[in-house]
Amino acid sequence: MTHRTETPIDVVYTWVDDTFPGYAEELARHAGKPADRNPNRTRDNLDLLRYSLRSLRHLPELGHVHLLTCRPQVPAWLDTEAPGLTVHHHDAVMDPGILPTFNSFCIVSHLHRLPGVSDRFVYFEDDMVLLRPGLMQALTDSDGRHVAYFTGRPVRSHAALKASDSPWNHSLANAARALDAAYGPAPRRHVIHGPKLVDRAEFAAVMDRFAPEIAATRASRFRGYDNVPPEFLYPHAAVARGHARAATEAEVREVEGYVSIENILPWTRAQIAWVMRRNPLTATFNDSFGARPNPRVVAWMRRWLETRFPEPSPYERADSTRS
């Protein structure tokens, strides 16, 4: 990981805030099963996108920032006129017949269609931050080949799943089965929580290669049992197609820092302390609050984030302050 890459590269974010006026009501009109109402995937009570953008100071190769969200949502603190930033809404890249969508798999399957996005870009979920420089050196080899990051945990097959298991687990099994059919049986391991390097043309080719699965995914307003997660499908396919190689265990440890934000404050603090001692390149703060976030944990996390990332990014409104 000692080589350097100076070519500017864009960063793409997906983001949603379920407190935005009208969003909860629209979600309720379309929701069916209980999983459709899971607030862990739509809550924005920590302003994590703000701190993720602040952390981009650790990415010297940064080109343009793209934010993809549903119309008319925009973070209240975001300066949408800031140089180097473009806000895209779903209707700019998606067929109107599938909107509104609350399915993150569907949304991610359209990232390569963003107008003006660079040929290669880094995809961040809004709960991911950079802790130090070196991301692009970790995501590419010296010859420019991409590096894909997987955990040691295998994906469960359909035979090992129950009907009551989540759409997420079923979608992983669907993707693993599709990959095996396309490229031959192989171990299918979970993808790490962390930023992912995407080649726009290669991503489009993978979406086309698995067109039936992607069509079913895009047709689901919420995560469905017949879906596939593009963020899992793409890196596995890129390795199978020779476009990327799988990272070593040591490389995975260098990149991934995962924190599950729980309602038990000592446990959350201990997780963050452990990740900070390890000092990986990135950290992902997964919302595991459940239906009722503990206000003590929320307040502590906000203080921690502000202390760790105190400098406003160029994309924040001058009159905005953290609530």
Q: In this prediction, what percent of the chain has a pLDDT beyond 90? A: 89
Q: What is the pLDDT of residues 128-161, one digit of tens each?
A: 999 999 999 999 999 999 999 999 999 999 999 9
Question: What pLDDT does residue 195 have?
Answer: 98
Are the C-beta atoms of residues 237 and 182 closer than 8 Å to each other?
A: yes
How far apart, in whole angstroms, are the C-alpha atoms of residue 30 and residue 25?
Answer: 9
Q: How confident is the model at residue 276 (pLDDT cuts 50, 70, 90)?
A: very high
Which residues are paired to 67 by β-bridges? 13, 87
* Residue 38 reports pLDDT greater than 90: no
> pLDDT, tens digit, for every residue of 165-202?
999 999 999 999 999 999 999 999 999 999 999 999 99
Type of residue found at 32: G
Q: Which of 21-30, 101-110, 178-187 has the lowest mean pLDDT?
A: 21-30
| Residue 199 near residue 243, CB atoms below 8 Å | yes
For residues 102 and 27, the answer to whether their CB atoms sit within 8 Å is yes
What confidence tens digit (pLDDT) does each residue in 225-245 have? 999 999 999 999 999 999 999
Grade residue 6 by pLDDT with cuts at 50, 70 and 90. low
Q: Indicate the pairing of strand 9-14 with strand 62-69.
A: parallel
pLDDT band with cut points at 50, 70 and 90 for residue 311: very high
Distance (Å, rounded) from C-alpha 228 to C-alpha 254?
28
Residue 297 CA to residue 301 CA, distance in Å, equals: 6
Q: How many residues does the chain have?
A: 323
Cα-Cα-Cα-Cα torsion 289, 291, 297, 298, nearest 10 degrees, comes to 100
CA 172 – CA 161 distance, rounded (Å) = 11
130 with 55: CB under 8 angstroms? yes
Span 9-308: which CATH code?
3.90.550
